[in-house]
Structure 1
Amino acid sequence: MIVLHARPSPGFRAAVDAVFGAGVVVHVDEAEALDGVADAITVLLHVLTPVTPPFIASAPKLRLIQKLGVGVNTIALDAAREQGVAVCNMPGTNSQAVAEMALSLMLAVLRRTCFFDARTRAGEGWTADPAELDSVGEIAGRKVGLAGFGNSAQRLAPVLAALGAEVVYAARTPRDVPYAFWPLERVIAECDIVSLHMPLTEETRGAIDPLAMKAGAVLVNTARGELVDEARLVEALRSGHLRGAGLDVFAQEPVAPDNPLLALPNVVLAPHIAWLTPETLVRCLEVARENCRRLATGEALLHKVA
C-alpha cells in the first residue's frame, strides 16, 4: 500500500491519480494518525508530519519513506536504518518554487507590501504618513548573502544579480560561480539581506543570530525555522535592529496563535508553502512514482539518504 500523509488540495489529489493511476495511492489527512494503516503500508509519501521511531516500528511492511521535497529532519533516520527502511528525498524538485518565494519575501519586506495593501483596502492608501515611504527600499545596490548555496540559492543568485544586487554566499566549499564566497559569520554580519538556504542539522540548529546581523538588514527564511534563534529574532525586529523579516518557516509548526512574530508589523509570513506549487508537486510525484517502480524491481533508488 502506498500512502500519502498530507492534506492535499483537489488539484494535488488529481495530480496523484494522474501520475500513479486512480486509486493507487491512499490519502490520509496529516491531522490523522497512521495507526489504522500501519500494518499495510509499504511506501509512505511524506510531507511534513514527523515520521517517528514508534511509527516505523509499528509498520512491519514499510520499505520506503519517500520525502516529497528535500529536508529529511522530520524523519527518524536512525530508526529507519535499524528497520531496514529506505529513505529518499528529491533534491531540485522544489528549487524553482523556493527561489521565487524567497525573492517575493524580499520584495514584500522591502516594499512593505502588506502594510500598503491593508491601508489601500481600507481606503487609506493615500493618507498614510509620508514618513512611511522612508522605510521602503530596493534590492538594487544591496548586498545579498545566501546562507547555503544549493539548488534554490543557485537559481536565485543570478536573478538578484540581474536586479542590481551584489550577491555573496556561504557554503561548505567554494563553487565555481561569479559570486564571492564568504564565511557564514561574515554573511550574517555584513549583508543587507540574508536569505537562508541551509539544511537543518545539529551543527546548523540555531546558527543564525539575528542580533548579530547588520543593523537595518532583512532576514528571509524559506529553509527551516530552527536555523534561527527565534527569541532573538523577535527582539531584533521589535527593537528595530532589523528592518524586517520574511518567514515561511518557524521553530514550531503550525505556529502557535500567541507567537509574538504574528503581531509584528515588519514581518511578512507564510505557512511553510515556499515549495508548494502545482508544478513542484508534479515533479515530486514523478520522482516518487519512479522510486516505487524501482523498489518493486529491486533497482537502486534515486536520492537515497538512509
Structure 2
Amino acid sequence: MDRSGGQALRVLAQFVAGPLVRERLRPHRDWLDVRFCAESDDATFQAELPEAQVLWHVLRPLSASDIERATRLQLIHKLGAGVNTIALDAAAARAIAVANMPGANAPSVAESALLLMLAAMRRLPQLDRATRAGHGWPTDPAPTEQVRDLGACTVGLVGYGNIARTLERILQAIGATVLHTSTRDDGSPAWRPWPDLLTDCDVVSLHLPLTPTTERLLDRAALDRMRPGAVLVNTARGGLVDESALVDALRAGRLGAAGLDVFAVEPVSPDNPLLTLPNVVLTPHVAWQTADTFGRYLDRAVDNCRRLRDGAPLADLVGPGAHG
C-alpha cells in the first residue's frame, strides 16, 4: 500500500546538505521530497515540521511539544544509534515509528576513538602549538618519561557493541591488550566487572548509550578508581561522565589526559572548563561524521522511506512503539 497517497513523501532532514548528499538523493526525487534544515535553525525547523511525514534526526533534541506540532509525522529516523535526544514516549503516544541505524557509524567512530586516544596520549595539541610557535626541540623530559605506546597499553572498552568491537580489532592489530565490560559477564576472558576494568586499564574508552542507568556512570568515585595517569576517551555521550569531577581529576593530574568528542551540554558552552585544560583533546561531536558514514546513513534512510511508502515493515525500530 502506498501510504503517501501518490504524492512525494515529505522528509525534513536536520542537517545541511552538501553536493555529495544531494547527488546521492537525486535518483529518488520523483518520490522523495527532502527539505534540509541546519540544527541551529529553529525557525526553519518549526516552519517545516508540520508538513513533514518523515524526520531524519541527528542531534537537536526532539521534544514532546515538537512531536505534537508534527501532525503529519509517521517516522522519526535517527541518523545514528543513540535515541536519547528523542521524546520516545511522546512519539509512541502518537503512533509515530522511531528507527535508528545500529552499526552504520561504527567504522568512523572507532577510528575517531583511536584518533583521540593517540592525540591525548602523545600530546598532539601541545606539540602542534609548540612547533607552529617555532620553539624548536622540546626540552621537557615528560614525554620520554610519561608518554606511552598505545600498543604497550591495556585499553578498556565500556560497552561492547558494534563500535567497541570494531575498535577492539584495530587496537589488537597494533598490539594493545583490550578488555571490555558490559551489562553482564559474556564468558570472554577479556571481560571485566566495571570496577576492575577501571583499575586494570591505562586507557578507558566509553561506548554506551545514555540512559537513566548509565547517566554519570563515570562519577567522582569511578574516576578515582582509574589508574594514575590514565587516559579517558568518550565518543559516546557526554552525560555518561560527571564533567566537574573529570575537570578536577585532570587538573590534579590524577588522570593523564582525556579525548572528548561529546559533552554534557551540546553544543559545548564556551565557558566549559574542559576547554581550558592543556591535557584534553576536543572535537565537537563529529566522530561519526565522514562521507562514508553519511553514505550508509542515506542508504538506510531512503530504504526506510521506501518501506513507509510501500506499507512494508520498517527496519530497525526502537522505543516503546517498536513492537506495536
Please state which band the TM-score falls in when normalised by the shorter chain.
Answer: over 0.9
Which one of the candidate residues 151, 173, 186 is aligned to 1:140? Answer: 151
Instruction: Decide which moves more: 100-109 or 128-137.
Output: 128-137
Q: Which residue of 1 aligns with 2:16?
A: 7
| Partner SS for 2:151 | coil
Distance 1:89 1:233, change over 3 A: same
Q: Which residue of 2 aligns with 1:24?
A: 33
Instruction: Decide which moves more: 79-88 or 111-120.
Output: 111-120
Equivalent pair of 2:12/2:49 in contact (CA under 8 Å): no
Equivalent pair of 1:211/1:233 in contact (CA under 8 Å): no
RMSD over aligned Cα atoms: 1.7
Distance (whole Å) between structure 1 residues aligned to residue 147 and residue 190 of structure 2: 27
Equivalent pair of 2:12/2:35 in contact (CA under 8 Å): yes
Distance 1:13 1:122, change over 3 A: farther
Which residue type is aligned with residue 59 of structure 1? A
Q: How far 1:141 moved relative to its partner? A: 2.3
Equivalent pair of 1:198/1:223 in contact (CA under 8 Å): yes
Any residues of structure 2 matched to 1:58-137 within 5 Å, and which?
58-137=69-148
Q: How far 1:158 moved relative to its partner? A: 1.9
Distance (whole Å) between structure 1 residues aligned to residue 39 and residue 208 of structure 2: 25
Q: Which residue of 1 aligns with 2:190?
A: 180
TM (normalized to structure 1)?
A: 0.94
| Partner SS for 2:152 | coil
Equivalent pair of 2:155/2:203 in contact (CA under 8 Å): yes
Which residue type is aligned with residue 7 of structure 1? V
Q: Which residue of 2 aligns with 1:232?
A: 245
| Partner SS for 1:155 | helix
Overall identity of the aligned pairs, in %: 47
Show structure 1 runs of 4+ deviating over 6 A: none
Any residues of structure 2 matched to 1:46-57 within 5 Å, and which?
46-57=57-68
Q: Which residue of 2 aligns with 1:290?
A: 303
Which one of the candidate residues 259, 263, 270 is aligned to 2:276? Answer: 263
Q: How far 1:131 moved relative to its partner? A: 3.7
Distance 1:257 1:19, change over 3 A: farther
Instruction: Decide which moves more: 189-198 or 242-251.
Output: 189-198
| Partner SS for 2:218 | coil
Q: How far 1:109 moved relative to its partner? A: 1.0
Which residue type is aligned with residue 245 of structure 2? R
Q: How many residues align?
A: 304
Unaligned runs of 5+ in 1: none
Instruction: Decide which moves more: 154-163 or 240-249.
Output: 154-163
Instruction: Decide which moves more: 126-135 or 24-33.
Output: 126-135
Q: How far 1:216 moved relative to its partner? A: 1.0
TM (normalized to structure 2)?
A: 0.89
